[in-house]
Amino acid sequence: MPSKKAPNPIDVHVGSRVRLRRMMLGMSQEKLGESLGITFQQIQKYEKGTNRIGASRLQHIATVLKVPVSFFFEDAPGSPEDVPASGDSQQTSYVVDFLSSSEGLSLNKAFVRIEDAKVRRRIVDLVRSIAGEDA
């Protein structure tokens, strides 16, 4: 019996970017699956990187999610931009991870609706204080 191979890091990254964009649009896995003519279970497998997304399917996903195909490869492991010149790629990865969480996405959506810059600054200071980080 063949052993299960770990998913390719690129497939995992592309899947996480599909999930990020889907969540940014407030779209369910079911809705994305319906738009593509596949099941939500298949969307789950794509998002986890357990199933590789073919080129034509990725193009279709990009169209449905209203992003260029290149969106799914931004900050991908092994890409030229991934060479840490100043630690930016780690910071970008952190932001993507944060926005991929439901809490991060909710917080971001609410935060950008706050029009007063002083209030936004005070909220950032409050969160830093709660987290024990010096402002």
Residue 94's pLDDT is 65
- What residue ranges define each of the domains in the chain, with the CATH number in brackets? 9-81 (1.10.260.40)
Tens digits of per-residue pLDDT, 2-53? 557 888 889 999 999 999 899 888 899 999 999 999 999 999 999 999 999 9
Q: What does each C-alpha distance from 17 to 47, 83, 135 come to in angstroms?
A: 8, 19, 31
Task: Give me the pLDDT at residue 5, please.
Answer: 80
pLDDT digits (tens, 9 = 90+) for 71-113: 998 888 875 554 444 444 555 566 667 776 778 878 888 888 8
List the structure tokens of 30: 């079911």
